[in-house]
Each structure stands twice: as structure tokens, then as C-alpha cells.
């Protein structure tokens, strides 16, 4: 990969990590967030940090696996947020949807496709 692509991937991973961290932090103060959703958001945040760290170390194979796991967790978090009414869905869903789309876009950019 050229330097521009490397920087773009890092920028996207940082944005995804930030979105996941914001969702996790918001879940601590939003009413009606199920414990299962909080646990999923915690895993999502950790996985996004791991993906960025693997990219920084040049571990593209590990990063590809981490992105696959991240995409699955983002799907799960969106589904779990949809199961809740009120504040949990209204506050968390937009950020989770944005993170999910950013993850999909990055997977597509890197030629990774989940089956």
C-alpha cells in the first residue's frame, strides 16, 4: 500500500474507534440500555482499538480478522439497540449505524467481504 492509502486507513480506523468509544460512553448515561448491549459496545470499543493497533504494527492479516469481528459486533450492537425503545435507540442507534457503515466502507476499500 502507498503512504496515502495507509494514512486513509489509519484515519478511518481512528474515526471508527472514536465512534465506538462515544457509543460506549453514552451507554453509561442513557436510560434503558440493556446489559447485553453494554457488553457488546465494550467489545466493539476494544476490537476497534485492536484493529488500529494491528494496522500501526503493519499486521494486515490480523487487522483483516479484527475488521471482520468488528463488523459482526457492529451488526450485533445495531440489532440490540433496535430491541430497545426510547433513549437507548434514539441516542445510540445513529452513532452505531455510522460506525457500521464506516466499517463496511473500510472493508470494501481493503477488499474484505464478509460472506
Cβ 103 vs Cβ 71: under 8 Å: yes
Q: Is the pLDDT of residue 87 over 80?
A: no
Cα separation, 8 vs 81, in Å, equals 29
**What's the whole-number mean pLDDT along residues 18-43?**
91
Question: Which string of DSSP letters, residue by residue, matches 24-48?
Answer: HHHHHHSTT--HHHHHHHHHHHHHH
* pLDDT digit string, tens, across residues 39-58: 999 999 999 999 999 998 98
CA-wise closest residue to 33 among 96, 87, 69 = 87
- What domains can be seen in the chain, in order of their start residue? 3-109 (1.20.120.230)
Do the Cβ atoms of 85 and 32 come closer than 8 Å?
yes
What grid cell was written down for 7? Answer: 494514512
Per-residue pLDDT, 115: 46
In this predicted model, what pLDDT tens digit does every residue of 8-25 receive, in sequence order? 999 999 999 999 999 999
Containing 2, the helix (H) or strand (E) segment is none
- The answer on pLDDT for 113 being more than 70 is no
The distance between the two most distant Cα atoms of the chain, rounded to a whole number of Å, is 45
Amino acid at each position: 500500500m502507498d503512504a496515502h492509502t495507509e494514512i486513509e486507513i489509519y484515519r478511518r480506523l481512528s474515526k471508527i474507534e472514536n465512534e465506538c468509544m462515544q457509543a460506549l460512553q453514552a451507554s453509561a448515561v442513557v436510560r434503558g440500555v440493556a446489559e447485553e448491549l453494554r457488553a457488546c459496545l465494550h467489545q466493539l470499543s476494544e476490537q476497534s482499538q485492536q484493529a488500529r493497533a494491528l494496522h500501526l504494527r503493519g499486521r494486515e492479516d490480523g487487522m483483516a480478522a479484527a475488521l471482520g469481528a468488528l463488523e459482526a459486533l457492529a451488526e450485533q450492537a445495531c440489532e440490540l439497540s433496535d430491541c430497545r425503545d426510547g433513549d437507548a435507540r434514539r441516542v445510540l442507534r445513529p452513532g452505531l449505524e455510522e460506525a457500521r457503515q464506516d466499517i463496511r466502507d473500510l472493508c470494501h476499500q481493503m477488499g474484505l467481504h464478509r460472506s
